[in-house]
Structure 1
């Protein structure tokens, strides 16, 4: 028995030696380079590719089946003269005995100098689409054999296909050096490349962590962008479960190019990646992202990968200087106040699909303002923006561009003109000549609205603010609801509290036509007029609580065009007010003193005129507001007036009549004492000049004073007729005589 075992052992040893000797003989006596043509033909017949072997083929047989290819290229059979891939060297080896068990156990796999060229022609056809295809024969007139009439078509029995058995992954390592991939789209002219690709892995086994390191330089030509990247992590592949993980993923690099205007952005990202094809789920957890000054944390999960993917997750952006970040990536923000957008942070839930994205449960802080709510893009293609936001406080003026040089120059010129006119008007307590009407335009001709952008806008916004500063006005409890679609923007409601009063506005802006058309309806309720004017840096001519209702339309894309096309109606009333620097009583005293042929003995006792109510109606025609029914109730007098306000130059021209009760002060000036003869007389004033002057531009109307004097003279003659004639003549004759003298 022992002898048999010994013999068997010797036989097996002999067989092994024979196999080793045979392998040695095959590898040393058999040269695969002599069979390049046969190898190329096998590649054509089996893989349907054109394989070119310019270099040597090296190989080994046992215990590893080793292979090395040098200077090889691959093309499709459709275009065999145009290789889509070539490499300098491919080296791999496979353990022989496991192959008999349909297992692949490989040692190190090395790829040197791989160059892959992917090209899509002007018709949209990609060269990779022809890989594995057999070109059609040259004579394709009858590619299919015809079947004679009446003969049954030949039956081809179906061949039962065995599902391919998955090959077990077992590689000691994979190394790729100096590889390059290029994608060229001839239709658009865009070229994308990945160069200097270096990749190395540890042992590659199924369901085990595979250390991976990858570096590359990425670039594109439209726009010109270049990216340096480095990727590290551990890859885990469970093919039976269709589950793929990338643990401790770390991606870093730098971006430069035309969009960054020559500047560089440094970026980094890390986290845990998971793709579960069986569950149709993908996840990115433990997200950490940085880009220059920006730092963010988060998590993302994608469901329904086999249908319409649904994205859900959370995002947190730490406080950073947005203005500096934008500058660091070569972009420019619109001009705004110094220090704006220096403190920005965000916490939000994220949801989306391939065509939409929303930020829910927003907690956004911008400088000194905090926002909460939701922002969503419901359709990327239509740019459909939806926003529901609530803010504690927000200063819009801080983020608006400053006035242009043209606007500042026009404002300065007008301010100088008004100041000069005002100084002249104030001299001599109204004894100066009537101011001239302004003639210079008061409004900018600069482009006001981005029409092209507004025409494409699809927006639905609902915003509320605890305090909103807009055009220097401190609006409390502000609310704005607006929509825009197809070039029609609708302000459904804008309301708020202002200086213990309130306002409300609504309107539309139509940019569907070449000239934008604006329509506005506004109501202001008991807002101090002087506060509004003071906030604009103007000296108010009047104080009081104003209530205004207006319906106005205009067209154009500049301040001047809108004002010059302004049409509509308005009504206003100011209660418990004061005409500042405008002593109408003094003007009246001057008129009475003139008729009394006396001079005022004292200086004006005050420079303001208080009133109980000032009201009227306005009709706007091409920027000029006509006011036919101005009425002012002043203690001791009543004022009626009519005139025009020219908004194009911010000028006014009014004729005013004052019905006086007399100087009601304790010590009236003797020159303007009102006797019975002056009661009920309407004293004429003319108000002309810049609108900012208000009642300071009013003067006694000397032209109409003659009518007052004539009336008083007629009344005096009537009194004398009554005194002289008494009851000696009939009443009819006395009346006829009085009328004769009053004409």
Structure 2
């Protein structure tokens, strides 16, 4: 017991002596001298001036110091006088811990930190010179060190981590960032940071708050952060648990001027294994909820990241309403009610892969994948499939078309200059494309038409963009096509090949007939086969039309022709001609035939050559039981002008009258003029010549019949006279 008591006395005595010694040292400590030493060392290390207003020391129970009015000078050429300023810096060490070998530092407090960061117009920052000097000094020191010294330095560095700190506190700090090269200004005010005790392998509570304002765009952000951080003795394994970030953004660009976002996640970092994990990242804002899981490897050498992104189901209509975006009126009120997305991803410094992609929009779903390599010159590959979508539901309701102005003068556009529309292709972007992939569509409903089994294979490289294979089931038939855009030269070149089999002609050919005839009621329906092979070049619509060259072909079996009765047209021509010639037309013949809205065709076919925007057709055939139409001519797509000649050959039911026989004469018809109001006229010179021959033969026949009748009448009269004479003679015999 006596030994223990003596030992305790010695320890206490030693501690008292040590405290008295430290007190004497601090009492005689020349702060001015050491302020100069510190400033000189900072100048040597950074090349900057450090000014210190005052240093005060404390002794018991904590050995510490308090520094006031610290200021580090700024780099030359920047407006702010100082790069950093601190109103007060406090640090204290528990005195007794120095003797126990377990150093404990009280909370380090930094009051009113002011940090001024900037970049000049030459894109140089105000800390570049410090980094350059530190790098140069580090290289010089490394060259003079031995391996043993490096090892000792590493051990010394690791021993520093054994020191425990009760926390770090930043109060009322500000950070100002000025970028003269872009004009951007960022200000961080009310910066407050508070941590719990900093000890290896112990959770470190951390909280941070700040107000951030931006000049471009003008915005203010209120930031609050909470987390628990844990690290090992060697600072190789770091975990952040319960990280929560709450932000409130105010800017005129947001609806209502404000939006909030909440972020939650856990992070684990293993520097020894070079791995990191982002767990349960959850971002919520504006009715959206985004979840992310990610793992990273080879952080220092060649970082690789893989994970999964999930955008939870949300209401797009509610979102756009929140964003104050006005949607156009749509045909259905049941669309844009539900959307979601999920995808697995992997990425490196030079590549990105998206796999198991699933995007849901209402009743539609897109599945597939996409990859990008070489971000500087991206190589993109994709494989996407959309199951079905009804675009009619998303389009505006159909509007009634205004009635056509029948009083419009004929050929109003025949010679009018057609306004040109430039085609401004993003040539540089197209030349840089390197894409290959396939897109499939199960079923599409659009403009009251249905397309199914759609497939397109795309490739693009060096300015040559190809839709190498286009296939679809549409219009009750099938389509096979390919298309190409070549922008490798100054003038873009286009090519299109198309083969359509058994498609309904109503949707394809009817619009062409309506535009060429100027009649909305004119239609052609039935199964048709269409082929087109055309090439062109140009930088405007007119140039593209004028440079079109290729071939066109179509054929139909049984079909229906609406809005045109060729027989009625010929009959009206016959009546007009006979009346002009004062040839009697029986009233019954006039009234027995009424125009028909529909004509059944047995066959329809045509081929054409396209030269410099002019369609040249020589073999049109429309064959029905009542008439046959053949035709040849040109359609100038550039000027939108027709120069066509058709021959209508009617098959009358009977040919008893002259009118019937004239009707049986093929009638040549001209269709000329602009697409809007083409003129339809009879080729009277040829037709009248043929009709004249027919009427001449008819007149001769009638004359012969009249002569024959006259001769018969004369013979009859002579016979009657002979009978009378015979009677008279007989009466004379019996008198």
Distance 2:75 2:542 in 1: 70
Distance 2:565 2:8 in 1: 134
| Change over 3 Å in CA distance of 1:624–1:45 after alignment to 2 | closer
| Change over 3 Å in CA distance of 1:566–1:50 after alignment to 2 | closer
Q: Which residue of 1 aligns with 2:338?
A: 343
- Tell me which of 259, 262, 280 is aligned to 2:274: 280
Q: Deviations over 1:1-38 (max 9, x none)?
A: 94x765555454444333344444444x3355343444
Q: Deviations over 1:143-184 (max 9, x none)?
A: x9xxxxxxxxxx999573113331214111211112233445
State whether residues 592 and 671 of structure 1, in contact with CA within 8 Å, keep that contact through their aligned partners in structure 2.
no
Distance 1:402 1:648 in 2: 33
Secondary structure at 2:533's aligned position in 1? strand
State whether residues 212 and 234 of structure 1, in contact with CA within 8 Å, keep that contact through their aligned partners in structure 2.
yes
Secondary structure at 1:705's aligned position in 2? helix
- Tell me which of 594, 602, 605 is aligned to 2:591: 602
- Tell me which of 620, 641, 666 is aligned to 1:682: 666
State whether residues 107 and 173 of structure 1, in contact with CA within 8 Å, keep that contact through their aligned partners in structure 2.
yes
| Change over 3 Å in CA distance of 1:520–1:482 after alignment to 2 | same
More deviation in 442-451 or 92-101?
Answer: 442-451
More deviation in 482-491 or 612-621?
Answer: 482-491
State whether residues 413 and 676 of structure 2, in contact with CA within 8 Å, keep that contact through their aligned partners in structure 1.
no
Q: Deviations over 1:500-532 (max 9, x none)?
A: 211222111234555543221122222112244
Distance 1:370 1:499 in 2: 24
Q: Deviations over 1:689-730 (max 9, x none)?
A: 676999xx755443332121244367679999999xxxxxxx
Is 1:296 paired with 2:290?
Answer: yes
State whether residues 44 and 77 of structure 1, in contact with CA within 8 Å, keep that contact through their aligned partners in structure 2.
no
Q: Which residue of 2 aligns with 1:249?
A: 243
| Change over 3 Å in CA distance of 1:170–1:381 after alignment to 2 | same
Distance 1:663 1:509 in 2: 55
Q: Which residue of 2 aligns with 1:731?
A: none
- Tell me which of 185, 202, 206 is aligned to 1:208: 202
Distance 1:412 1:445 in 2: 25
Distance 1:464 1:660 in 2: 49
- Tell me which of 618, 634, 641 is aligned to 1:644: 634
Shift of 1:685: 2.7
Counterpart mapping for 1:318-717 below 5 A: 318-322=312-316, 325=319, 341=336, 343-382=338-377, 384-395=379-390, 416-417=404-405, 438-439=413-414, 445=420, 450-451=425-426, 454=430, 456-469=432-445, 473-512=449-488, 515-532=491-508, 539-556=521-538, 559-590=541-572, 594=577, 597-599=584-586, 600-605=589-594, 606-648=596-638, 652-663=642-653, 672-674=659-661, 681-688=665-672, 700-712=682-694
TM-score, length-normalised on structure 2? Answer: 0.79
| Change over 3 Å in CA distance of 1:519–1:342 after alignment to 2 | farther
Q: Deviations over 1:527-575 (max 9, x none)?
A: 1122446799954422222211112233455555544443322111122
State whether residues 76 and 130 of structure 1, in contact with CA within 8 Å, keep that contact through their aligned partners in structure 2.
no
| Change over 3 Å in CA distance of 1:164–1:581 after alignment to 2 | same
Query: How many matched pairs?
Result: 677
| Change over 3 Å in CA distance of 1:128–1:628 after alignment to 2 | same
Distance 2:688 2:50 in 1: 115
State whether residues 548 and 572 of structure 1, in contact with CA within 8 Å, keep that contact through their aligned partners in structure 2.
yes
Shift of 1:244: 0.7
| Change over 3 Å in CA distance of 1:647–1:460 after alignment to 2 | same
State whether residues 267 and 290 of structure 1, in contact with CA within 8 Å, keep that contact through their aligned partners in structure 2.
yes
Q: Which residue of 2 aligns with 1:734?
A: none
- Tell me which of 295, 302, 326 is aligned to 1:308: 302
Shift of 1:270: 0.6
| Change over 3 Å in CA distance of 1:439–1:323 after alignment to 2 | farther
TM-score, length-normalised on structure 1? Answer: 0.78
Secondary structure at 2:593's aligned position in 1? coil
More deviation in 333-342 or 45-54?
Answer: 333-342
Q: Which residue of 2 aligns with 1:269?
A: 263
Q: Deviations over 1:396-438 (max 9, x none)?
A: 57778999xxxx9xx979x624x568xx9xxxxxxxxxx7575
| Change over 3 Å in CA distance of 1:127–1:571 after alignment to 2 | same
Distance 2:471 2:392 in 1: 18
Counterpart mapping for 1:171-250 below 5 A: 171-185=165-179, 187-188=181-182, 190-221=184-215, 223-240=217-234, 242-250=236-244
After superposition, the CA RMSD in angstroms is: 4.4
Q: Deviations over 1:191-233 (max 9, x none)?
A: 5443321111111111111111111233454555543221111
Distance 2:155 2:72 in 1: 25
Q: Which residue of 1 aligns with 2:713?
A: none
Distance 1:722 1:236 in 2: 125
Secondary structure at 2:18's aligned position in 1? helix
Shift of 1:483: 2.7
State whether residues 237 and 270 of structure 2, in contact with CA within 8 Å, keep that contact through their aligned partners in structure 1.
yes
Secondary structure at 1:306's aligned position in 2? coil
Tell which structure's C-alpha radius of gyration is larger.
Answer: 2
| Change over 3 Å in CA distance of 1:335–1:504 after alignment to 2 | farther
| Change over 3 Å in CA distance of 1:449–1:722 after alignment to 2 | farther
Shift of 1:669: 8.6
State whether residues 91 and 107 of structure 2, in contact with CA within 8 Å, keep that contact through their aligned partners in structure 1.
yes
Secondary structure at 1:662's aligned position in 2? coil
State whether residues 570 and 663 of structure 2, in contact with CA within 8 Å, keep that contact through their aligned partners in structure 1.
no
- Tell me which of 44, 58, 61 is aligned to 2:59: 61
| Change over 3 Å in CA distance of 1:136–1:575 after alignment to 2 | closer
Secondary structure at 1:160's aligned position in 2? helix
Is 1:95 paired with 2:84?
Answer: no
Distance 2:10 2:369 in 1: 82
Secondary structure at 2:590's aligned position in 1? coil
Secondary structure at 2:148's aligned position in 1? coil
Shift of 1:447: 5.4
State whether residues 449 and 557 of structure 1, in contact with CA within 8 Å, keep that contact through their aligned partners in structure 2.
yes
| Change over 3 Å in CA distance of 1:99–1:325 after alignment to 2 | farther
Distance 2:54 2:271 in 1: 42
State whether residues 488 and 511 of structure 1, in contact with CA within 8 Å, keep that contact through their aligned partners in structure 2.
yes
| Change over 3 Å in CA distance of 1:5–1:714 after alignment to 2 | closer
State whether residues 411 and 676 of structure 2, in contact with CA within 8 Å, keep that contact through their aligned partners in structure 1.
no
Distance 2:470 2:256 in 1: 43
| Change over 3 Å in CA distance of 1:136–1:201 after alignment to 2 | closer
| Change over 3 Å in CA distance of 1:226–1:8 after alignment to 2 | closer
Secondary structure at 2:591's aligned position in 1? coil
Distance 1:445 1:363 in 2: 42
Q: Which residue of 2 aligns with 1:739?
A: none
State whether residues 120 and 186 of structure 1, in contact with CA within 8 Å, keep that contact through their aligned partners in structure 2.
yes
Secondary structure at 1:43's aligned position in 2? helix
Q: Which residue of 2 aligns with 1:727?
A: none
State whether residues 473 and 535 of structure 1, in contact with CA within 8 Å, keep that contact through their aligned partners in structure 2.
no
| Change over 3 Å in CA distance of 1:169–1:17 after alignment to 2 | closer
Secondary structure at 2:127's aligned position in 1? helix
